[in-house]
Amino acid sequence: MIYGLTGAICENCIRTAADLIRDAQQQKQMESKKNFQVKLLKPSEIKRRLDQYVIGQDEAKKVISVAVYNHYKRIMYAGSTDDVEIEKSNIVMVGDTGTGKTLIAKTIAKMLEVPFCIADATVFTEAGYVGEDVESILTRLLQAADYDVAKAERGIVFIDEIDKIARKGADNPSITRDVSGEGVQQSLLKLLEGSKVNVPPQGGRKHPEQQFIEVDTQNILFIGSGAFNNLDKIIAERMNTNVIGYNAKNRTVDKDNMLQYVSAQDFKTFGLIPELCGRFPVITYLNALDATALKRILTEPKNALIKQYVKLFELDGIRLEFADEAIDYIVEKAVELKLGARGLRSIVEKIMTNAMYCFPDSKDKAITIDKKYAQEQFEHSIFRFLED
């Protein structure tokens, strides 16, 4: 007998109750598997939805759309009797900072009918060190699936900043312990290859008493993404040596956009272990954003930055307009910053701060930002910044 504050329970009852709970859970999972029905969006439809938010990056959007479509097909036909088993193709995306990697992931997440989570690889460390275990990725997926294990097992996981777990100091043997690098890559392997993983339902290491939930990762699609700084140089180096061997005359190499030639080999040189590269069979890249793309990003998407500010002012009953030259000025500054679209926000914010401070008090009901004003505000803010 086990005694509590107000009662007691015998061993038999505990066992019977545990069995009942397990049966109920299994029943729920079976049903979840049986009831899985989604509207299958064609790749072109997925891409069209992405187009509403993500400017350019056609190549990456196509690859992701196909991958997501195939993912749905695979899980819908999983368990059918014929013996052709469709394997998943995890994807990895490379592209400079601020080119839309995370944006693509978030936009996909919004339209999906399977659980989806974004994990940030920078927080992972080897077991035993301060940080998170990689299994916590699946905790998040479980949460996204309302702890319906069968549902989680057909989800999609986005691993952001995957380049940050590259082996560090490949040429520095004095680093004997690579806490956040290779060890983390090793533990990721297990998740990626499709195995049964014990997942702490509450995540983290703070609840040692929690019971683990077993999650089969076989059908979970993993999409990795990272900026992989200087990967273009690695690619260029490889191409250079190869090109000489393969008759360089017949090939023209687009030197300004080396990422398009990326291959698994380059990730290896970058510091990912070969086994990990092998588990991301699909590689895609995002282009650096030029002025034309930046201008479109500023004005076109459903939640374009300019539209956001217009809305902000509209809520105060003020009509805000940007002159075309002001927009060109912002784009010009963003190109100089080299932070991709990420730079746009900080520039526009600098230009608008003053107006946002003054206008709610003023009687004027309309404001137009022309180039002169934009330039004044921006340069003033930079100046102030230097003085601080």
Find the binding residues for Mg ion in span 24-43 (CB under 5 A).
none
Stretch that binds Mg ion, among 1-9, 96-104, 138-146, 206-214 (CB under 5 A): 96-104
Residue 346 within binding range of Mg ion, rule CB under 5 A: no
Residue 330 C-beta: closest distance to ligand ATP, Å: 13
Residue 297 within binding range of ligand ATP, rule CB under 6 A: yes
Write out the two tokens for 288.
Answer: 């650096």
For residues 190 and 195, give the distance between their C-alpha atoms in angstroms, rounded to a whole number. 6
For residues 318 and 56, give the distance between their C-alpha atoms in angstroms, rounded to a whole number. 32
Residue 331 within binding range of ligand ATP, rule CB under 6 A: no
Find the binding residues for ligand ATP in span 250-279 (CB under 6 A).
none
Among 50, 63, 69, 95, interactor with ligand ATP by CB under 6 A: 95
Among 157, 192, 235, 341, interactor with ligand ATP by CB under 6 A: 341
Residue 344 C-beta: closest distance to ligand ATP, Å: 7
Among 89, 102, 218, 346, interactor with ligand ATP by CB under 6 A: 102
| Nearer of residues 138 and 305 to ligand ATP, judged by Cβ | 305
| Nearer of residues 88 and 101 to Mg ion, judged by Cβ | 101
Residues 352, 354, 357, 358, CA torsion sign: negative
> Where do we find the tokens 């890249």?
285
For residues 55 and 53, give the distance between their C-alpha atoms in angstroms, rounded to a whole number. 7
By DSSP bridging, strand 8-9 and strand 2-3 are antiparallel
| Nearer of residues 105 and 326 to Mg ion, judged by Cβ | 105
Stretch that binds ligand ATP, among 5-13, 54-62, 126-134, 193-201 (CB under 6 A): 54-62
Query: Please, which residues bridge with residue 92 across strands?
Result: 224, 283
Among 29, 97, 375, 381, interactor with ligand ATP by CB under 6 A: 97
CB 166 within 8 A of CB 126: no
Residue 184 within binding range of ligand ATP, rule CB under 6 A: no
| Nearer of residues 76 and 123 to Mg ion, judged by Cβ | 123
Among 190, 342, 371, 380, interactor with ligand ATP by CB under 6 A: 342
CB 90 within 8 A of CB 158: no
Q: Which amino acid is at 150?
A: A
| Binding-site size, ligand ATP (CB under 6 A) | 18
Residue 102 within binding range of Mg ion, rule CB under 5 A: yes
In the chain the beta strands, taken as DSSP E runs, fall at: 2-3, 8-9, 91-94, 116-120, 156-160, 196-199, 213-216, 221-226, 282-285, 319-322, 366-369
- Cβ-in-10-Å burial (0-12, 13-18, 19+) of 109 comes to middle
Residue 55 within binding range of ligand ATP, rule CB under 6 A: yes
| Binding-site size, Mg ion (CB under 5 A) | 2
Residue 122 within binding range of Mg ion, rule CB under 5 A: no
| Nearer of residues 33 and 49 to ligand ATP, judged by Cβ | 49
CB 110 within 8 A of CB 122: no
Query: Per residue, what are the HEC states of 1-48?
Result: CEECCCCEECHHHHHHHHHHHHHHHHHHHHHHHHCCCCCCCCHHHHHH
Q: Which does 342 bind (CB under 5 to 8 A by kind): ligand ATP, Mg ion, none?
A: ligand ATP
Residues that bind Mg ion (CB under 5 A): 101-102
Binding site for ligand ATP (CB under 6 A): 54-57, 95, 97-103, 227, 297, 301, 340-342
